[in-house]
Amino acid sequence: MAKKKILVPDARVELDNLKSRVMKDMGYVVDSNNPNNVKYEIADELNIPLNKGYNGKLTSEEAGKIGGPIGGNMVKELVRLAQEQLQKK
């Protein structure tokens, strides 16, 4: 599966680090070298048949149930960090 294009390509490493840290904090086992693999653990918990490679039969709802916790928790952490920075000023 291709990685989504990000606005600032140089930020990929830090985004992967954030994903790894956030999902570890949520109790998931995360491979630091490939944090995207956490989606398979989430899919397994939800009994959603996510396979490596093509997943054309996956519904939008199922994909959202897998990606939502990952992206949502990353956003929550970014907001928390921003609030922390604002309080320091």
pLDDT(2) > 60: no
pLDDT of residue 7: 86
What does the alpha-carbon distance between residue 57 and residue 21 come to, in Å, rounded to a whole number? 30
Q: Residue holding tokens 């599966």?
A: 1
The residues near 36 (Cβ < 8 Å, ≥ 6 apart) are 1, 3, 16, 19
pLDDT band at 4 (very low <50, low <70, confident <90, very high): low
| Residue 52: inside a domain | yes
Give the residue numbers spanning the domain of 71.
Answer: 9-88
What is the model's pTM?
Answer: 0.79
| Residue 4: inside a domain | no
| Residue 36: inside a domain | yes
pLDDT of residue 70: 94
pLDDT of residue 3: 58
Residue 22: burial class (beta carbons within 10 Å; 0-12, 13-18, 19+): buried
What does the alpha-carbon distance between residue 57 and residue 6 come to, in Å, rounded to a whole number? 25
Count the domains in the chain. 1
| Residue 1: inside a domain | no
